[in-house]
A and B are shown apart, each in its own frame.
Chain A
Amino acid sequence: MTYFIDRRPNAKHKSAVNRQRFLERYRKHIKRSVEEAVNRRSITDMERGEKISIPTKDISEPVFQHGPGGARSIVSPGNKEFLEGDRIRRPSGQGGGGGAGEGGASNQGEGNDEFAFTLTREEFLEFVFDGLELPHLQRKPLKSMEEIKMVRAGLSRDGVPARISITRSMREAYARRIAMRAPIKRALQAAQQALEDEERKDSVLRNPTRIVELKAEIERLEKRIEAVPFIDTYDLRYHQLSAQPQPSSQAVMFCVMDVSGSMTQNHKDIAKRFFLLLYLFLEKHYEKVELVFVRHHTAAREVSEEEFFYSRETGGTIVSSALKLVNSIIQARYPPEKWNLYVAQASDGDNWDDDSNTCRDLLVKQLMPQLQYYAYVEITPHDHQSLWHEYESVAGHFPEHFAMRQIVEASEIYAVFRELFKRRLSQAD
């Protein structure tokens, strides 16, 4: 008695629960590995899993086992030169050549010191934003720049030869041929019938003139049928394109960071998560997201990501230098009618007092009207300085598009984007 059952269509991920339990249990270990990965990886490279290693001793499931020591007998295969009574030097270390190995006890733990496995992308992100209430990032309508895109819109009778629709044209031609030939064919049939009738008559009764007439008629009709053209300009159909406004599918994100002496590596790590969050958000929305890194102290410079996060500089702080640079990059490379522009700025709040006014003017008059969103975090436990107050007035002008927040720890970052996410959620209703 045998039954065959095809279980392949059964539910997948039977082990998902156990997997989650495992991850939950070793949260701390995994988190540490994830932190390291975040610091190591580029912002654009976050969306893949990560290989995690946990020391085997930390996750072993203990059972009573024999420890080293005492006397043990081990039977092994493959004797080559040993004779009874031979004495062999104890192999140093574990396992190895002497054949004895460490034997019996380690039947399950065997092997590596590290237990290694791979986190999926989702799990990885969950750990990255552990503690951040990350909303579901979904593709939802977002106010964005309009762009004209040509889309196919049916067929038309005129167009350029390159856009001819062959099948449709041939079909039209076929229909027309049938339609044009039908009456002629009918007349032809009638003429042939008449001719046949005439010819069947007794030779006395035949009318030779009529026969000649009919023959001429048949010939004329056949010519007409042949004259119906196989294809006519009238048959041609062209694919039509129509211009439709489309939300632009590309965005550029400016990461602006203060790298003056007062920003520590810790500040930068928090800032990295801040930028990362915005990046992930944008990536869900736009087909293409470009990153521009602008760092500044007294002067601003566009740099590579590597340099942005890890090289150090000292000096004073002039924020407006960065804003000016952002503006000029926008003018030069990212025209606002083609790109959705986002700016994320991280700083410890230091700025030259005189400069903060300039920043405000620059933002209100030039930058903000072009931007989709401006997010600013001030990473400091201290009191606000002039920059913060000036920014507050900017936020007053553009409550929908400007968010700012003071944070001390990474877990507070999400609040900066609350407005951005919330707006979308209400739109979804």
Chain B
Amino acid sequence: MNASQKPIATGSDWNFNVLERFNDKLAALADEYRLDTYPNQIEVITTEQMMDAYASVGMPVGYHHWSFGKQFLAVEQAYKRGQMGLAYELVINSNPCIAYLMEENTLMMQVLVMAHACYGHNSFFKGNYLFRTWTDADSIVDYLVFARQYIAQCEERHGVHAVEQLLDACHALQNYGVDRYKRPSPISAEEEAKRQDEREAYLQTQVNMLWRTIPEPPPDASPLPGSLNSDEDPLGLHVGGVYPSEPQENLLYFIEKNAPLLAPWQREIVRIVRKLAQYFYPQRQTQVMNEGWACFWHYTLMNRLYDEGDVDEGLMLEFLQSHAAVIHQPDFDSPYYNGINPYALGFAIFRDIQRICEEPTDEDRQWFPDIAGTPWRTTLEFAMRNFKDESFIQQFLSPKVMRDLKLFLIVDDDQSETLEVAAIHNEQGYRRVRDALSTQYALSVKEPNVQVVEAAIRGDRSLTLHHVQDSRRPLGRSVYPVIRHLHELWGFPVRLISMDEGRVTHRYHWPVEEEPKEKK
């Protein structure tokens, strides 16, 4: 500790002046570590406002929907019972990056949150490739404002109930409302509003074409009016091949563009939900990395503050206690176990990368020849920028971390009587544990794989989807409510066929009774 310097502040009270001085200090340190961040907008809010923010899943401006009300009540209840976990910070991926500080926080908490959110998460948002590709930090707040106004307008025009039902249906499918392989072009809110009118008109004409009541026969088909009953398909309506020509995984996009009966405003709302799902898509894929990165930096920065004498021992002890609680990983057999703590796992991996760079062991040289002994800051930056949870774990989970966390792999196969311990943290098991953990974070495995394969545009207008099972895992009971929602959007019968390696195991239909007895 640099004895010549007095701490910036002590005790647990804070004021704006003190916060600014801490922030200046943190900014200088972050600069020294070459953390590239958006400008920060730090907002001090009350508990209630924090609960509001939580309830609207972190959107600073949200449209109205009952599910956010439910969320709010749940948060409020949890908070009142004192079960609320880390309710201290919330940060929004926008430019400027908005971070919330709760007024009840102690001075230590405020500094910790600034280090964690304003420099940790912020630099992650700005640097990670998924965020760079899929989200547009500059325009998100504008877009949210647009969405809120548009939906409020629709409620006025078409009734709250109609809008609510539509949103329910969209929410049920929002995880299937993301593009995985295309980069959306960023546009601002005014542009969005301007284009929206044009789009409405254009889209509708497109759909009208697709769903012409009297289909035009393909040019090569010869209409034979007299022989209607003689042939299954006298007009050759089915010769045009299937539509869409390739399976579509973005269900909401497909609905927005193709659902026959949706009114233009309904299409726009589908689009809004889809856009927001897209915005949150990177966050769902980088939880471990994002939190790990933020924890790594708050830990590093707080220690630097202490080393330079800007905080005293009291504050540091309070910090260490809080930090330890955040990155605590209960064992699987503990009553507090609730899955792997992303803060713990991410923090452990990033710290370990730093260790491998600075003090590599023989094992590290063997496992990580590329990074052992390299400058840690560059390697860490590389790891942060170019991976998502799945690949990050695959790439950087070291035997040491697996040993520290005592990870083990269980295979639960319903065809066998018992669970099998497939691998543990030993020489034979490292790779398999790592593969399995990596897969556990792959969204494509976490969520059932459901795609649109056919819309019978020339037939009964029914929609057919395929579910491709992963390791024979069937769909949960929620499948019926979901396809009911899908049916609401599509307007015609919906079939969902669940397949395991090409073999059909289940068929789900909505409306239910519609199913003809052709199953066998």
Chain A residues packing against B (C-beta within 8 Å): 1-8, 10, 12-15, 17-25, 59-80, 82-90, 97-101, 103-105, 107, 110, 115-118
Closest beta carbon of chain A to B151's beta carbon, Å: 12
Closest beta carbon of chain B to A134's beta carbon, Å: 23
In angstroms, Cα B296 to Cα A35, docked, is 53
8 A Cβ contacts from B46-105 to A: 46, 48-49, 51-52, 55-56, 64-70, 72-74, 76-77, 80, 96, 103
Q: A70 contacts B472, CB within 8 Å?
A: yes
In angstroms, Cα B118 to Cα A71, docked, is 42
Complex partner residue of B72 from A10, A19, A24, A64, CB under 8 angstroms: A19
Complex partner residue of A5 from B44, B80, B418, B469, CB under 8 angstroms: B44
With a cutoff of 8 Å between Cβ atoms, the chain A residues found around residue B65 in the complex are 18, 21
Besides A21-B69, A22-B72, 5 more A-B contacts (Cβ < 8 Å) are A12-B48, A22-B66, A70-B414, A79-B406, A89-B418
In angstroms, Cα B412 to Cα A196, docked, is 119
Closest beta carbon of chain B to A381's beta carbon, Å: 34
Closest beta carbon of chain B to A411's beta carbon, Å: 23
Q: Can you name 12 A-B pairs with beta carbons within 8 Å? A: A3-B96, A7-B43, A20-B69, A64-B450, A76-B332, A78-B333, A79-B408, A84-B421, A90-B418, A98-B419, A103-B412, A117-B76
Complex partner residue of A64 from B43, B66, B69, B176, CB under 8 angstroms: B176
With a cutoff of 8 Å between Cβ atoms, the chain A residues found around residue B173 in the complex are 63
Closest beta carbon of chain A to B280's beta carbon, Å: 14
Q: Quick one: CB contact mask for B416-429 with A, threshold 8 Å, 1 for yes?
A: 01111111111011
8 A Cβ contacts from B461-488 to A: 467, 469-479, 481-482, 485
With a cutoff of 8 Å between Cβ atoms, the chain B residues found around residue A64 in the complex are 175-176, 447-448, 450, 467, 475-476, 478-479, 482
Q: Give the interface size class of chain B.
A: 35 or more
Among the listed stretches B164-172, B179-187, B213-221, B226-234, which one makes contact with chain A, having 4 or more residues with CB under 8 Å of it? Answer: B164-172
Q: A74 contacts B409, CB within 8 Å?
A: yes
Complex partner residue of B482 from A1, A13, A62, CB under 8 angstroms: A62
Q: Quick one: CB contact mask for B371-393 with A, threshold 8 Å, 1 for yes?
A: 00000000000000000000000
A-B contact count (CB 8 A): 271
Q: A18 contacts B421, CB within 8 Å?
A: no
The verdict on B334 contacting chain A, using a C-beta distance below 8 Å, is yes
Q: A84 contacts B428, CB within 8 Å?
A: yes
In angstroms, Cα B473 to Cα A72, docked, is 8
Looking across the interface, which residue of chain A has its beta carbon closest to that of B41?
Answer: A3
In angstroms, Cα B160 to Cα A15, docked, is 16
Give the dominant DSSP class at B's interface: mixed
In angstroms, Cα B469 to Cα A72, docked, is 12
The verdict on B19 contacting chain A, using a C-beta distance below 8 Å, is yes
In angstroms, Cα B433 to Cα A133, docked, is 65
The verdict on B130 contacting chain A, using a C-beta distance below 8 Å, is no
In angstroms, Cα B482 to Cα A19, docked, is 24
In angstroms, Cα B339 to Cα A103, docked, is 8
Q: A21 contacts B20, CB within 8 Å?
A: no
Q: Given A14-B49, A21-B164, are A73 and B411 also a contact pair (CB < 8 Å)? A: yes
Q: B334 contacts A78, CB within 8 Å?
A: yes
Q: A61 contacts B421, CB within 8 Å?
A: no
In angstroms, Cα B46 to Cα A1, docked, is 24
Looking across the interface, which residue of chain B has its beta carbon closest to that of A2?
Answer: B40
In angstroms, Cα B485 to Cα A20, docked, is 23
The verdict on B437 contacting chain A, using a C-beta distance below 8 Å, is yes
Shortest 8 CB-CB contacts between residues of A and residues of B: A78-B331, A22-B69, A70-B473, A18-B69, A70-B472, A1-B39, A62-B481, A67-B476
The verdict on B439 contacting chain A, using a C-beta distance below 8 Å, is yes
In angstroms, Cα B155 to Cα A17, docked, is 13
The verdict on B497 contacting chain A, using a C-beta distance below 8 Å, is no
Q: Quick one: CB contact mask for B422-458 with A, threshold 8 Å, 1 for yes?
A: 1111101100010011011000001110100000000
The verdict on B504 contacting chain A, using a C-beta distance below 8 Å, is no
Closest beta carbon of chain A to B263's beta carbon, Å: 22
In angstroms, Cα B118 to Cα A282, docked, is 55
The verdict on B329 contacting chain A, using a C-beta distance below 8 Å, is yes
Closest beta carbon of chain A to B90's beta carbon, Å: 12
